[in-house]
Amino acid sequence: MLICITDKAMELEEKISGEFTEYLKELINPATDEEVETIFKGLETLTKVIENGDQMK
């Protein structure tokens, strides 16, 4: 199977990714450095749980 992604699709992906990044920045802006570190550690834990869950299937 061959999947071709158009330039328009790539531009849309970049736009959405940029907007999402800005949204996340706004969400964590009021957080302290310690709170941001806790959030990132939680995300790392979530990633590991998801990856391990995929391996169990």
Residue 56 predicted with pLDDT over 90: no
Which residue ranges make up each domain of the chain?
Answer: 33-57
Under the banding of pLDDT at 50, 70 and 90, the label for residue 1 is confident
Average pLDDT over residues 6-11: 91
Under the banding of pLDDT at 50, 70 and 90, the label for residue 49 is very high
Residue 57 predicted with pLDDT over 90: no
> What pLDDT score does 4 carry?
78
DSSP string across the chain? ------HHHHHHHHHHHHHHHHHHHHHHTTS-HHHHHHHHHHHHHHHHHHHHHHHH-
> What pLDDT score does 5 carry?
82
